[in-house]
Amino acid sequence: MKHSGPIYAVLAALLYALNTPMSKIFLSSVSAEMMASFLYLGAGTGMFLVHLLTGNRSVEAVLTKKDLPYTVLMVILDIAAPVLMMKGLEISSAANASLLNNFEIVATTLIAALVFHEQVRKKLRIAIILIVSASAILSFGSDGALDFSKGSLFVLLACSCWGLENNCTRMLSSKNPQEIVIVKGLGSGTGAFLVAIICQAPFPSLALVPCVMVLGFASYGLSVFFYVLAQRYLGAARTSAYYSLSPFIGSALSFIILHESLSLVYILALVIMIAGTVLTTSDVKDEETLGT
């Protein structure tokens, strides 16, 4: 099974990378609120069906009342984040949004340092500066589809929500990952659907609903499932190294599927973002080595 870990990790990265370009296509016919709802409902429903069909009777710890505060906050943040992401994706290029997803690293790290008092070492501090710089270039660039717009702001706000959600999920990391995905998917999907109703978002074509749910199952359900499997074979650091490919795969798919234009501003931001991501991965490896 020594080759299974990298396969699972790359599958996780690829499945999540599909989310941005495919969502961009669906957003021409489905509102941002409804997209967010059915993406997460697809993840939760799909993982629940996998649980039933496989007859999984895991001995892993289940969520308890003690976990309720973090679970509730996780669900609330997972209502806000995808709605903000879809709003941003509506008015910005998919390639831009994919690359800006790396800002989630910054948000996760800063919240971990400020709220949970985790140490931020030199490599990670430099990585944060590089990723923030690249995000600024993407947001304030003056070249074609990468002009500054509210779209970039929405994507960055979504990444900030996911950064806080990552820290909440970390507090639940000892629990059954299948159960966490099911709770996140069904809870956040239902919440986003209520937001869509309140905002009077039109209900999408019934033919599109299962398509969006399948995308949600792949990008938010199976992606997490394969990520957890990869960790069991590779450990946290090596899995993170593979998964860090996801935003770059998403950007490449955006150019291939949507034929978006490639600019010098984007290339500059891409190079800086790659450098920041490499430093982040290197820091995680250093931390894991010191931990052992």
**265 touches 146 (CB < 8 A):** yes
- The whole-number pLDDT of residue 84 equals 96
- The whole-number pLDDT of residue 146 equals 43
Instruction: Name the nearest CA neighbour of 224 among 239, 245, 208, 241.
Output: 239
Domain range spanning residue 88? 23-220+265-291
Gap between the Cα atoms of 195 and 113, Å rounded = 31
- Is 202 a domain residue? yes
**215 touches 39 (CB < 8 A):** yes
- Which structure tokens are listed for 263? 């600019």
- Is 32 a domain residue? yes
- Is 48 a domain residue? yes
- Is 122 a domain residue? yes
For 277, how many CA atoms within 13 A lie in the half-sphere containing its CB? Answer: 23
- Is 5 a domain residue? no
* Per-residue tens of pLDDT for the chain, all 292 residues: 557 888 888 999 999 999 999 999 999 999 999 999 999 999 999 999 988 887 655 666 777 888 899 899 999 999 999 999 999 999 889 999 999 998 988 888 888 888 877 787 888 889 889 999 998 888 875 444 444 568 889 999 999 999 898 888 777 767 787 888 899 999 999 999 999 999 999 999 999 999 999 999 999 999 988 887 787 777 666 777 788 889 999 999 999 999 988 888 889 999 999 998 888 877 666 665 665 5
User: How many domains is the chain partitioned into structurally?
Assistant: 1
- The whole-number pLDDT of residue 202 equals 95
- Is 86 a domain residue? yes
Instruction: Name the nearest CA neighbour of 273 among 101, 110, 147.
Output: 101
| Predicted TM-score of the model (pTM) | 0.86
- The whole-number pLDDT of residue 176 equals 80
- Is 241 a domain residue? no
- Is 282 a domain residue? yes
Residues 6 or more apart whose CB falls under 8 angstroms from that of 259 comprise: none
Gap between the Cα atoms of 107 and 160, Å rounded = 5
- The whole-number pLDDT of residue 144 equals 45
Instruction: Name the nearest CA neighbour of 204 among 43, 9, 38.
Output: 38
